[in-house]
A and B are shown apart, each in its own frame.
Chain A
C-alpha cells in the first residue's frame, strides 16, 4: 500500500466533468448518517479559523446549566458542553478542557451512561495535561459518540440527536457572534448551513410525540425553522450582516434557553 500511496501523489487531480452527473434516481438514493453527515464543531471551527483567525481565548465563555430532571434538556446541555470543549481546545486552555471533561462525565452520570465513558474522561484529562490539542479534538468527538452509543443502548436513542443538535447550536452561537462582529461575505457563507438545519428539523419531526411536544423542543424547533428561513433566502446572494446578526441572536437565545431551564425565550 505504501507504494500505492506514493504513486497517488503523482496522479493528477480528476477534473470535474470526467464522469456523468447523478441521475434523479441516484440523488433520491442519497442517505444521511448523523455520525458522518453532520460536521463536528471542531471541523467548523477549523474553517472559521482559516477565514477569520478569531481569538478563541476571548470567545471562550463556557456555559453552565441549571440542574434539571429533563432528559431532553440534559442531552442538549451535553452537546453544548462538547462544543465548549472544542472551543477550549481552540483556545488551548487545558484546565478548561479538564473542567469540561469532568462536567461531561457528571452529566453522563445523570443520564446513567457514565460507566462506559469514564475512561474517556480520563483520556481527555490526560491529553489536556499534555497539551495534545490534535488528540483532544478526536477524543472529544469519540467521547460524544460513546455517550450517544450508551444512550442508544439504554433506550434513549431518541435523545441522541439532541446531543448533536446542542453541539451544533452552541458552535453556531459562538461563530455567528464572531462573524457578526467581524463580518465578511466569506465568513458569512460558512455559517450558512441549510442542509444541516433541514436535517435537524427532519429528525425532530421523527421524535416521539412526548419528546417532540416538550416546550424546550418546540422552542428549539421554532428557532431552527427561523434559521432555515434566513439561510435559504436568496441563495444567489451572500448572507447579509443583518442576517448573520439574527442567526447569532437566535442561537444565543436557544443556548440560554437550554442552559437556564426555559426562563428565557429565543
Chain B
C-alpha cells in the first residue's frame, strides 16, 4: 500500500469501477442499489492500484448502537481493502477489522461521512471479522464489498 497516495490521486482522474459492476451475486440480498453503487465507487479507487474487486457483497440495514459483523477468510501476504457505504439518512459509518478471537488488528482507515474503508495486509492466514457500524444518522441500508491483491 506504499503508493496509495499516488494511486488514490490517480483514481480521482479515472472512471469509477462501478460502471463495470458485475451482476447481483447469489445469496446476497440487493437491498440498496444506491449503497452498493457508492461502495463500488469507493472500491474503484483501489481497483486502480491493482486491487481486484470481489463480485460478492454484503448488504443489509445498519442501526445506531447495533454494529454488524461478518466473517471473512484472508491470506497472509495478500492486501485487502474493505469498502462500505450507506445510503441516507446515514451520516457517518466506520469499518473495523478484528482477528478470529475478536481482538482489533492494525488497519489503514478511510472515513468520509457515509463511506468508509479499512485496509489490511494480514501476516497470518485465516478467519477475520469485519465490523460495520453506523456512527451518526439513522437506520440506513449499507453495502460492503472487498478487493484484494
Contact = CB atoms under 8 A, between A and B. Distances in A.
Contacts of A155: none
Given A9-B8, A189-B125, A36 B58 contact: yes
Given A1-B115, A5-B8, A35-B25, A16 B105 contact: yes
B55 A186 contact: no
Interface string A41-57: 01110110011000000
Most buried by A among B72, B75, B108: B75
Determine the main DSSP class of A at the interface with B: helix
B102 A27 contact: yes
Nearest to B22: A142
B78 interface: yes
A37 interface: yes
Chain B interface secondary structure, helix, strand, loop or mixed?
Answer: mixed
Given A21-B98, A195-B71, A13 B53 contact: no
A8 B109 contact: yes
Interface string A7-40: 0111101111111111100110111111111111
A193 interface: yes
A5 to B, nearest CB: 4
A190 interface: yes
B19 to A, nearest CB: 13
Interface of A: 1-2, 4-6, 8-11, 13-23, 26-27, 29-40, 42-44, 46-47, 50-51, 134, 137-139, 141-142, 145-146, 148-149, 151-152, 160, 186, 189-190, 192-196
